[in-house]
Copies of this chain bind each other. A is one copy, B any other.
Amino acid sequence: MEKMLMKGNEAVGAAAIKAGCKYFFGYPITPQNELPEYMSRELPKNGGTYLQAESEIGAINMVFGAAGAGARVMTSSSSPGIALKQEGISYLCGAELPCVIVNMSRSGPGLGGIQPAQGDYFQATRGGGNGDYYTPVYAPASIQETVDLVQEAFDVADTYRTPVIILGDGMIGQMMESVEFKDIQKRRLPQKDWALKEHVEKGSKKLINSLYIKPEEMEPHLQKIFGKYDVIKKEEVRYEKFNCEGADVVAVAYGTVSRIVRNAIKKLEEDGIKLGLIRPITLWPFPFEAFDEISPETKAFLSVEMSMGQMIDDVKIANAGRLPVEFYGRPGGIVPKPIEVVDKVKEILGGAK
């Protein structure tokens, strides 16, 4: 297919439609508005339905209804809107409903600001709703990757009957880059025989439910769900490891900020310093295995985030005490400049400062 210059938000929409998404329930919020707007234009042309809900809570519960009816369905929002969806996401997980949820995040807490930030890492990876659950979280770093991962996300959702989160930020949503819609490799998807159908099969009553009033029934339900999580942890971990062999420092960074780290890597090369990069593509499951091999030259891990430090918890767990774990973060909507990362690395190495 022809290359196109597309805005991240619209690319998400196009990718979703390509992946067979037929329903979208949204509510406006900056910086993701172009996505519902795109869907309102394009979905009807593709035999789908766009509906604007009364709120994020309305939207996520409409997703619950549509997903329970077997539809490929998506919703999107940004940080505070995702916070409002937490109960709904918890229900989707409890009822094992597949869907894709997009967070083009901004800075918080509270109303905060609307510039790109990564302060929703915990919200996305630690199930900020109630109870025991996780959702796969994809963090693309370019529009092309966004497009690829969105398509993947729908398949992963259906394979494991789970909501999947795409965690972008204002920059991913707003920027344009060239994209190509490749035919991604299709998975063999299980039949949705648990879903409500347009035509009822007599005698097989379907129930979409997250209530297990007896602990003796709730526990096995959870164990079943966590059994799937074990498979996801084995099969679906994705990350990129770059420049790590013999690196002086290995940075860990995802999404937007990983691109800044790439610039820093180049700049540091000029000074003869080797900076490696572990870029988690799935934030959950976190790519712990990427940390297994550490070069003897490596003196520290450096978690670089557009936040006050959240992924660093996972980096610490992955590191398991072997090396110092350092942090460089710019929160509040500031995208750090490559030179800041450069300086931090030099500081760690006892260089400049």
Protomer copies: 2
Taking the complex as formed, is A110 at the interface, i.e. its CB lies under 8 A from any CB of chain B? yes
**B113 A91 Cβ-Cβ under 8 A:** no
**B131 A128 Cβ-Cβ under 8 A:** no
Taking the complex as formed, is A334 at the interface, i.e. its CB lies under 8 A from any CB of chain B? yes
Nearest CB on B from A290, distance (A)? 16
- A193-218 vs B: 1/0 string, CB under 8 Å? 00000000000000000111111111
Nearest CB on B from A111, distance (A)? 4
For the complex, give the distance between the alpha carbons of A310 and B226 in Å: 13
**B110 A330 Cβ-Cβ under 8 A:** no
B-side contacts of A302, CB under 8 Å: none
Nearest CB on B from A134, distance (A)? 9
Chain B residue at minimum C-beta to C-beta distance from A213: B113
- A89-118 vs B: 1/0 string, CB under 8 Å? 011111100000000011111111111010
Which residues of chain A from 114 to 147 have a CB within 8 Å of any chain B CB?
Answer: 114-115, 117, 119-120, 122-123, 126-133
**B110 A131 Cβ-Cβ under 8 A:** yes
Stretch of A67-75, A292-300, A314-322 contacting B (4+ beta carbons < 8 Å): A314-322
B-side contacts of A307, CB under 8 Å: 132
Taking the complex as formed, is A31 at the interface, i.e. its CB lies under 8 A from any CB of chain B? no
Count of chain A residues near B, Cβ 8 A = 66
For the complex, give the distance between the alpha carbons of A132 and B105 in Å: 12
Chain B residue at minimum C-beta to C-beta distance from A112: B131
B-side contacts of A330, CB under 8 Å: 219
Taking the complex as formed, is A333 at the interface, i.e. its CB lies under 8 A from any CB of chain B? yes
Taking the complex as formed, is A168 at the interface, i.e. its CB lies under 8 A from any CB of chain B? no
Which listed residue (B211, B226, B322) contacts A321, Cβ 8 A? B322
Taking the complex as formed, is A84 at the interface, i.e. its CB lies under 8 A from any CB of chain B? yes
B-side contacts of A226, CB under 8 Å: 308
B-side contacts of A84, CB under 8 Å: 57, 84, 86-87
Taking the complex as formed, is A82 at the interface, i.e. its CB lies under 8 A from any CB of chain B? yes
Nearest CB on B from A44, distance (A)? 31
Given contacts A87-B83, A332-B218, contact A310 B110 (CB under 8 A): no
Which residues of chain A from 16 to 63 have a CB within 8 Å of any chain B CB?
Answer: 57
Taking the complex as formed, is A5 at the interface, i.e. its CB lies under 8 A from any CB of chain B? no
Taking the complex as formed, is A258 at the interface, i.e. its CB lies under 8 A from any CB of chain B? no
B-side contacts of A131, CB under 8 Å: 79, 107-110, 112, 117, 119-120
**A215 B113 Cβ-Cβ under 8 A:** yes
**A115 B317 Cβ-Cβ under 8 A:** no
For the complex, give the distance between the alpha carbons of A121 and B238 in Å: 26
**B122 A108 Cβ-Cβ under 8 A:** no
Nearest CB on B from A306, distance (A)? 10
Nearest CB on B from A122, distance (A)? 4
**B333 A215 Cβ-Cβ under 8 A:** yes
**B111 A91 Cβ-Cβ under 8 A:** yes
**A83 B128 Cβ-Cβ under 8 A:** yes
Taking the complex as formed, is A80 at the interface, i.e. its CB lies under 8 A from any CB of chain B? yes
Taking the complex as formed, is A287 at the interface, i.e. its CB lies under 8 A from any CB of chain B? no
**A87 B94 Cβ-Cβ under 8 A:** no
Given contacts A123-B129, A131-B120, A316-B317, contact A112 B334 (CB under 8 A): no
Which listed residue (B90, B105, B114, B123) contacts A108, Cβ 8 A? B90
B-side contacts of A219, CB under 8 Å: 330-334
